[in-house]
Amino acid sequence: MQRYFSTKKSSINYKLNLQQPTFNMSKNFATVWENCIKVIRDNVSPQNFKTWFEPIKAIKLENSVLTIEVPSQFVYEWLEEHYLDLLRKTVKKELGNTGRLEYSIVMETPSNNAQPYTVKFPGRSNSSLKNPNLSVPGTLTSASIPNPFVIPGLKKIEIDSQLNPSYTIENFVEGDCNRLARSAGFAVAKKPGGTSFNPLLIYGAVGLGKTHLIHSIGIEIKNNFPDKTVLYVPSDRFIHQFIDSVKNNSTNDFVHFYQMVDVLIIDDIQFFAGKERTQDVFFQIFNLLHQNNKQLILTSDKAPVDLQGMEQRLLSRFKWGLSADLQAPDLETRIAILKKKMYQDGIELPNEITEYIAYSITSNIRELEGALISIIAQASLNKKSITLDLAKQMIDKFVKNNSHEISIDYIQKVVCDYFDLTLETLKSKTRKREVVQARQLAMYFSKSLTKSSLSNIGMHCGGKDHATVLHACRTVNNLIETDKKFKAQVQDLQKLINVNVK
């Protein structure tokens, strides 16, 4: 039940000295406050207006005293601290030199028989509350703590984990790009809160599988420890819940709720940047959970050292555990991801189409799967068979507006197509002349068109060392000067590589 009480704050119950027209008693409270709001809206940002002024309602106007209802004591104090001058001017304009402003503050209490009462707040202290039965924040029992996820009661088993059941470990393809993060995640799943990986922070660019991985870790923990409370929360939802708790004067309840969680998973913590009060409350929650050996799993688009707008005390705590990065998947991993997706959806495609998609989309997994879905949808809707030509048409449209950096994988793809070789043959140890020459050309273009090191190029070409790459580049340069046919092949390949990446 909601309780109402009002306060007459000395700093607001002022007499207005400026010459103003006599107040028109025919105005009602709604009209007066509506006129005030018009002035306020023009003088604050849209976000501040929505947060602090939109929830306010005018409820009474008697003897030039306008009473407004605010949702919490905190909002009342915030208005007085930050918007007192603005309120003074608007009240002067509407009510003349006898105008005053009073507040009716809404309090949430568990009692169903509470009666309205009046209190004053000398020095913003709660010590003058006249109702001895009011429940003071900090003395609440777990049974009265509101659940931000709107689940009746607060037994731990009733807290929905918010995990996506489709993001399982079986659907997560392991590769060199994610092996460290995946291994650490499943060490945590076997012993949440009991490893040195607390917190576990997984970072990487968009579309690389961070959200999938943390959901799968949460699901594994639930499977291994059914009695543990696991909760997944996107950072924006956490922020909105905190703002609501501030508006409703229930911040302590908010902290108490999160204190009950055994495994807290926060996605995209970079959005906490610049939000000092959100960082303060998360710092408090972090400490409470960590001190009680509860597991924290976080994701970010950057490493902790690169996060801007975050408090140093939070960044230092992020470094207590393990920070593991997810990188862009290599060619083999991209092919494996596509095949896994096709298997799940009951789709069969020729290997050349799968490989073409994997060669063409190198940026992230989300785009890779999107390209596959687009090709299948195009074929299905137009009742066409899926061919390599159709795949090329769709891929060209899919990446038309994106600039792509030339990669070693793509160079190898163009070279293999040109000489009608498989990638496995190109990377093999065979010493056949045509294969060796194709391999040398792939190394030559990789050195001249990418920023990769010689060692990295050699690794992509069958585990060769940097000396082999240097030798291949010298050989190609010598043949260009002495063999016209070979020179023409190099020029053809140069055009094919540059044309296809534009």
Residue 254 carries which DSSP code?
Answer: H
Structural domains in the chain, sorted by start: 2-121 (3.30.300.180), 169-325 (3.40.50.300), 331-398 (1.10.8.60), 408-501 (1.10.1750.10)
The CB-side HSE value for 22 (13 A sphere, CA atoms) comes to 2
Give the pLDDT of residue 22.
Answer: 42
> At CA 361, angle to CA 393 and CA 328, rounded to 5?
175
What's the pLDDT band for 432 if we cut at 50, 70, 90?
A: confident
Three-state SS at 115? coil
Q: Does the pLDDT of residue 455 top 60, yes or no?
A: yes
> At CA 218, angle to CA 215 and CA 219, rounded to 5?
85
Which H or E run includes 345? helix 331-345
Q: Are strands 2-7 and 100-108 parallel, antiparallel or unpaired?
A: antiparallel
Least-confidence region, from 33-37, 52-56, 290-294, 338-342: 338-342
0.85 cut: is pTM over it? no
Dmax of the chain from CA atoms?
103
**For the residues 245-254, what does the mean pLDDT come to?**
85
Q: Which of 106-120, 292-306, 444-458 has the highest mean pLDDT?
A: 292-306
d(CA 437, CA 426): 10
Give the pLDDT of residue 299.
Answer: 92
> At CA 215, angle to CA 279 and CA 190, rounded to 5?
100
What's the pLDDT band for 107 if we cut at 50, 70, 90?
A: low
The mean pLDDT of the chain is 75
Q: Does the pLDDT of residue 15 top 80, yes or no?
A: no
Percent of the chain with pLDDT over 70: 78
Q: Does the pLDDT of residue 474 top 50, yes or no?
A: yes
d(CA 182, CA 63): 69
State the sign of the Cα–Cα–Cα–Cα dihedral 422, 427, 433, 437. positive
Give the pLDDT of residue 220.
Answer: 92
d(CA 87, CA 72): 18
d(CA 195, CA 320): 12
The 3-class SS string of 68-118 reads EEECCHHHHHHHHHHHHHHHHHHHHHHHHHHCEEEEEEEEECCCCCCCCCC
Give the pLDDT of residue 397.
Answer: 62
Give the pLDDT of residue 106.
Answer: 65
Q: Does the pLDDT of residue 38 top 80, yes or no?
A: yes
Q: Does the pLDDT of residue 13 top 60, yes or no?
A: no
Q: What is the pLDDT of residues 261-306, one digit of tens each?
A: 899 999 989 888 888 888 988 998 998 898 888 999 999 988 888 8
CA dihedral 130, 107, 79, 10 (to 10 degrees): -20
88 neighbors 14 (Cβ within 8 angstroms): yes
Q: Does the pLDDT of residue 316 top 80, yes or no?
A: yes
Percent of the chain with pLDDT over 90: 7
